[in-house]
Amino acid sequence: MKVKNCFGFFLIVVILMISVKTNDANRRVFSENTSVLIPIEISFENTYSIDLNIRINKHIVDDARVISHDEILDNALMAWNLDSDRLKIGIASGLPLTFQGSLIYLQLDLSREQTIDDELWKIVQIKLNGNITYQAENLILLSGVREGISYDNPIFPNFNEGTATLNGNSFESGSKIEIIGNYKLSVIDTYGKTRTIQFSIVPPASQYLLGDVNGDRRITTVDALMALQKASGRITLTDLQKFTADVNKDGMVTTVDALIILQYVSGRITTFGS
């Protein structure tokens, strides 16, 4: 972002976002209570005063503070304060300032373990006098859940702004998801942009045997019959039973699952394939 001939007082809002990619290359794991150093890059010309308003994701950051700055600010006045999820920084100078690069450095204390790409933080939105001057493709930060992952323990997805639905129902940031099943979480930010992640909750491997619908640790014609009765609507199954009966993993218990279990019992097949 570039500001020219700024003889007045300017407000700049910076939203910081973790960039999490599905590619596992160049990934780092930051343990709980780890501190990371983040440069804030900006450019301006002939500016006497700047107000930086930096939004921090409090779901994963315990504390944020300014620890260093470029020497151009040595003769300027600077004050900062962390107010809830906003780090407010005020800069004033008796002489006009011109600069391009890393103006200040923030230290962020992470509150939980994070697996993050080398490209750790991105400035994704900057406002000047209320107008967006820069906007990246993805403004929505989702933490605590990843695309395409099956979790065998409860999860607590968090998002930094907007509203969300989980399988079409309203969802509050930080709520627990623990019921076995397939999920689609959609978050809509204040600008109407949507980010969607699909994932599933599965039972721990020690708690089930695929195809063993009645839970007796054996796979028999009884299990095939229960799958068939579920498919026809004659009986209802628990979440765990539905998971074990869905042997082809299409998200439903149908006559196909009953047939596959029967084929397994008769020895025609030896494994359950998707």
3-state secondary structure 204-261: CHHHCCCCCCCCCCCCCHHHHHHHHHHHHCCCCCCHHHHHHHCCCCCCCCCHHHHHHH
pLDDT at 112 (0 to 100): 54
From 135, 162, 182, the end of a domain falls on 135
- 44 with 146, same domain? no
Distance CA 191, CA 243 (A): 38
Q: Is residue 272 part of a domain?
A: no
From 135, 155, 185, the end of a domain falls on 135
Q: Is residue 228 part of a domain?
A: yes
Q: pLDDT tens across 97-114, in order?
A: 888 877 888 887 776 554
List the CATH number of the domain containing 77. 2.60.40
Summarize the confidence of residues 254-272 as an average pLDDT. 93
pLDDT at 136 (0 to 100): 40
From 154, 169, 201, the end of a domain falls on 201
What is the number of other CB atoms lying within 10 angstroms of the CB of residue 120?
Answer: 16
User: Tokens in use for 271?
Assistant: 């494994």
Split at pLDDT 50, 70, 90, the class of 188 is: confident
Split at pLDDT 50, 70, 90, the class of 59 is: low
- 229 with 146, same domain? no
- 252 with 130, same domain? no
> How many structural domains are present in the chain?
3
pTM for this model (two decimals): 0.48
Summarize the confidence of residues 137-158 as an average pLDDT. 78
- 127 with 18, same domain? yes
Q: Which range marks the domain in which residue 235 is found?
A: 206-266
pLDDT at residue 206 greater than cutoff 70: yes
Split at pLDDT 50, 70, 90, the class of 51 is: confident
- State how far Cα 192 lies from the chain centre: 18
- 223 with 183, same domain? no
Q: Is residue 18 part of a domain?
A: yes
Q: Average model confidence (pLDDT) for the chain?
A: 76
